[in-house]
Amino acid sequence: SWTTGNIVEEQVERIRAQVGNSRVICGLSGGVDSAVAAALVQRAVGDQLTCVFVDHGLLREGEAEQVERDFVASTGVNLYVANEQKRFLEALAGVTDPETKRKIIGREFIRAFEEAERAIMAEAAAAGEPIRFLVQGTLYPDVVESGGGEGAANIKSHHNVGGLPEDLKFELVEPLRALFKDEVRAVGAQLGLPAEIVGRQPFPGPGLGIRIIGEVNQERLDLLRRADAIARAELTAAGLDNDVWQMPVVLLADVRSVGVQGDGRTYGHPIVLRPVSSEDAMTADWSRLPYDLLARISNRITNEVDGINRVVLDVTSKPPGTIEWE
Ligand code: XMP
């Protein structure tokens, strides 16, 4: 029977056999799949691998550091960081339509990744070692969903900022192709990856960009990031991470309501909590979180995040609601 140790050994052998002495490139999204795929390839071929992290500025509090600092410390991977926060903010300026936001984020992500890729390829070519392989964190359910077969793994790429266009320049290395999500997490833990990455709940590729209802700007991102960090910390402190599938926290940036704080009137934005229970994200129900937890989250967000004066709970199942608001 399979153990996690067996999986690691077998995949390391396969990667070595496939890659030989060639150089390999891998995009990191901050999520568990790309991190575990990269860590396996690093274990197999070490410095032949270069990882690319495009920081679009739309991740949650602490997530960029988890990649740039903790992932690197635990794997020793060569990491190329593209700091593209400004680029994404400029591209998103004035945009409010959800699909347009998604398209812009997806387009800029691919452009930024390809620029990073070209920089790394130039350096590798100068050293006489062209890059032949691209790592993808395709899982078994993705393979099945897309009808199986080699190379048919990309069903989500139009939907997923972490996924790249079918890149004919490279041969694909897909060390997670036979694995389910829980096995991927077990392999990540076995490889010593940070618990925050291994245990990370689903998070959309376009990130906080689609959790700000209205135009995305730096100030709004900062507000949402702080509220989201509080909500996540309280969920974890209550020991309920495993009771919810994910809990989007959404900023209604174009809505304001009147409130009162101390002696003064406030006119701030609402935050929506969207905790859901689900098996596969295709359908979902709203999670019946304990009232005292909801009260703590609400008190802390309204006290600690200037500009937020109301916290509301989304009690819609999917369907008819989707999990994300955009
Ligand atoms: P919805 O909102 O459609 O979300 O009910 C279903 C699941 O997909 C996630 N999601 C995304 N994941 N790129 C991703 O990688 C995306 O563009 C994207 N949009 C939604 C969402 O968080 C939920 O888990």
At 209-251, the pLDDT tens digits run 999 999 999 999 999 999 999 999 999 999 999 999 999 999 9
Which band of pLDDT confidence, cut at 50, 70 and 90, is reported for residue 14?
Answer: very high
In a domain, 221, yes or no: yes
Do 111 and 37 sit in the same domain of this protein? yes
Is the CB–ligand 1 distance for residue 204 below 6 Å?
yes
Question: What is the average pLDDT across 264-278?
Answer: 98
Helix-strand-coil split of the chain, %, nearest 5: 45, 20, 35
The atom number, within ligand 1, closest to the CA of 163 reads: 15
Number of structural domains, the chain? 2
ipTM for the predicted complex: 0.99
Tell whether 145 and 19 lie within a shared domain.
yes
User: Which residues belong to the annotated binding site for ATP?
Assistant: 29-35
Ligand 1 site, residue 256, Cβ cutoff 6 A: no
pLDDT tens readout for residues 295-326? 999 999 999 999 999 999 999 999 999 999 99
Structure tokens given for 77: 């991977």
Residue of 34, 213, 277, 324 to test ligand 1 pocket, by largest number of atoms within 8 Å of CB = 324
Q: What is the CATH number of the domain that holds 257?
A: 3.30.300.10
Ligand 1 atom with least separation from CA of 321: 5
- 40 inside domain: yes
- Same domain as 217, residue 70: no
Residue 56: inside a domain: yes
Alpha carbon of 30 to ligand 1 centroid (Å) = 15
Closest C-alpha among 238, 322, 244 to residue 278: 244
- How far apart are the CA of 50 and the centre of ligand 1, in A? 28
- Measured by CA distance, the residue closest to atom 18 of ligand 1 is 204
Whole-number Å distance between alpha carbons of 255 and 251: 9
Averaged pLDDT score across all residues of the chain: 93
| Ligand 1 center from residue 56 Cα (angstroms) | 17
CATH number at residue 75: 3.40.50.620
**Distance from Cα 159 to the centre of ligand 1, integer Å:** 8
Question: Ligand 1: which of 159, 249, 318 to mutate, judged by most atoms within 8 Å of the beta carbon?
Answer: 159
pLDDT of residue 71 exceeding 60 = yes
**Alpha carbon distance 43, 49 (integer Å):** 10
For ligand 1, whether the C-beta of 158 sits within 6 Å is no
Which pLDDT does position 169 carry in this prediction? Answer: 85
Pocket lining: 123 vs ligand 1, CB cutoff 6 Å: no
- Answer yes or no: is 226 within a domain: yes
Tokens 């096995």, residue located: 183
User: Which residues touch 22 (CB under 8 Å, ≥6 apart)?
Assistant: 48, 129, 130, 131, 132, 133
Helix segments in the chain, DSSP class H? 4-19, 32-45, 63-65, 72-75, 85-92, 98-126, 140-145, 181-190, 195-198, 218-237, 291-304
Q: Are residues 218 and 276 in the same domain?
A: yes
Residue 259 is assigned to a structural domain of this protein: yes
The model's pTM is 0.92
Question: Is there a single domain that holds both residue 154 and residue 267?
Answer: no
Q: Are strands 23-28 and 131-135 parallel, antiparallel or unpaired?
A: parallel
CA of 324 to the centre of ligand 1 (A): 7
CA–CA distance, 101 with 95 (Å, rounded to integer): 7
Amino acid 111: pLDDT = 97
Whether the CB of 316 sits within 6 Å of ligand 1: no
Nearest to 226 by CA among 249, 243, 194: 249
**Is residue 192 domain-resident?**
yes
Q: Are residues 194 and 218 in the same domain?
A: no
Q: Are residues 194 and 295 part of one domain?
A: no
Q: How far apart are CA 198 and CA 193, in angstroms?
A: 7
**Same-domain pairing of 191 and 276:** no
Note down the domain range covering 309. 211-313
Q: Is residue 260 part of a domain?
A: yes
8 A C-beta contact, residue 45 and residue 193? no
| Range of lowest pLDDT (105-114, 168-177, 208-217, 221-230) | 168-177
Give the mean pLDDT of 10-38.
97
Instruction: Evaluate whether residue 322 is within a structural domain.
Output: no
73 and 138 assigned to the same domain = yes
